[in-house]
Structure 1
């Protein structure tokens, strides 16, 4: 049996169905089913338990797939190493990031990346949903979070911090905003996540962290729209520095409490690059991570 067939078996196990694996491979489901059946016939064991409702991996199938997966990754690594010795990084890089981070931090740099690596094609999926990388066939995800948990492998791209910001016009016309506690008297612009919409946290050197309960009539599920509302003078908002840094520098927004660290949950957050494999990092993924880290 060839490597492509074994990769198909692993893909079926990861996706949990012939149809889903076929969609990932852009082939007919019947061809995937035949390939798996051929492997089972050659091995003389059943790898998957089939029923009208679901497909599940048998005990022997799970052991077999666990054994061949690192071998397949090593084969990919060897192939990538051989190619990289003579060729520039190549292939299609499928990656995802939040809508705001993709627009502000990735898309403006893609021209430079693609000029440097013309043999790499980019498929970028901007979404605020936490996509399953393995199920969706995604090579790389950028997530904004404290240290990630779970099975994915992560590397820190850049530290992030949050600021409470408002437009100069809002500050000029509203009640004073000299201390975080003053936010209780303002209609804050709130991000539609539990940690962001009810309480903001603050920390100052030499002082204990504390939280301020916030309220407001406008809750928005998109950071770009929230920034626009803040620019338009609708109230103070808690936003990431990479999103509002240029606005603060240009005077469109003001960092209301520059002497404080601000957060919705944890103060130490970062942008992380996440990828599925523990033992193999394709060259196309590696150069993108290095590029984003250096930019």
Structure 2
């Protein structure tokens, strides 16, 4: 007896409440369903249904078998999906993780283009500023800003992210423009709570670091909120150019301390990280190709 069709048939009978309903769903005759159920009960040595004139009800044995059968059929479906994902065509669901701001502004706009080119592919974009567990969180590819990619994953450098110190012209008109890093001590400097510990590191052209213990009366753990506060004239901030390039070009924001490069705890480089088991997945390969094509040799915000 081929157990898989019989188990699937049993689940359909349990869901539909009758063999006729299961037959309609499966596209077969009621007699065929009845034969499979009788053979299944004989093989298991237990009655699975209490039969009445109106509806079939599960026996205690049937209820136990139903729970196990559902899990088994789900496992079979997952196995088939995993094997199909190893084929030549990108298909199935690709789970991608990225930081909130970068994912929203730079990754999300790519998704429609990628899925349009691959009709059997779906993409889930998971936005979080916390480090995800590639295995535990079932992530196919994580975009991480880091100095040191994880040792247990494949890491492909995607792009370097430049950052600038900037403020709104109105703020600088009220409070003055800092000429050297220590001038920041006299300013409202909007810190990123998760990353800088209220200490900015600025490096000059000779590689000399200056550490400034900055202060502000408001703090955020989200770079978009910092961006909004800077545009509103509430202080000075270190911002990535992918986020503020339009405002810099239009004069809404103005860079300061141009002879110094901000050095943040995450470093400059963005990596695509994935486990070795996913290296050959077509769905990962096409998405990685799309990232590289979009951000290299120069990212869009650095091309003009």
- Considering the TM-score relative to the shorter chain, is it more than 0.5? yes
Structure 2 gap ranges (5+): 1-65, 74-78, 295-304
Q: 1:290 aligned to 2:270? A: no
Aligned pairs for 1:211-226 (under 5 A) are 211-226=211-226
Which whole-Å CA distance do the structure 1 matches of 2:279 and 2:211 have between them?
Answer: 43
Aligned-residue RMSD, C-alpha: 2.5
2:142 and 2:272 in contact (8 A); partners too: yes
Task: After superposition, give the CA deviation of every residue in 1:118-153 in whole Å (9 maximum; x if it has no partner).
Answer: 321111111112221211211111111113133122
Rg: which structure is higher?
A: 2
Q: CA deviation at 1:237?
A: 0.8
Structure 1 gap ranges (5+): 1-27, 36-71
Which whole-Å CA distance do the structure 2 matches of 1:226 and 1:294 have between them?
Answer: 30
Which whole-Å CA distance do the structure 2 matches of 1:99 and 1:226 have between them?
Answer: 13
Task: Determine helix, strand or coil for the equivalent of 1:289.
Answer: helix
TM-score, with length taken from structure 1? 0.68
Structure with more of its chain in strand, by fraction = 1
Q: CA deviation at 1:34?
A: 8.0
2:188: which partner in 1? 187
2:170: which partner in 1? 169
1:200 and 1:265 in contact (8 A); partners too: no
Q: 1:251 aligned to 2:220? A: no
1:185/1:96 Cα in 2 relative to 1: closer, same or farther (>3 Å)? same
Q: Which runs of 4+ in 1 moved over 4 A?
A: 28-35
TM-score, with length taken from structure 2? 0.66
1:145: which partner in 2? 146
Which whole-Å CA distance do the structure 1 matches of 2:145 and 2:243 have between them?
Answer: 12
2:271: which partner in 1? 272
2:96 and 2:125 in contact (8 A); partners too: yes
1:29/1:104 Cα in 2 relative to 1: closer, same or farther (>3 Å)? farther
Q: CA deviation at 1:225?
A: 1.0
1:154 and 1:275 in contact (8 A); partners too: yes
| Number of matched pairs | 222
Q: CA deviation at 1:111?
A: 2.2
2:145 and 2:270 in contact (8 A); partners too: yes
Which whole-Å CA distance do the structure 2 matches of 1:277 and 1:213 have between them?
Answer: 41
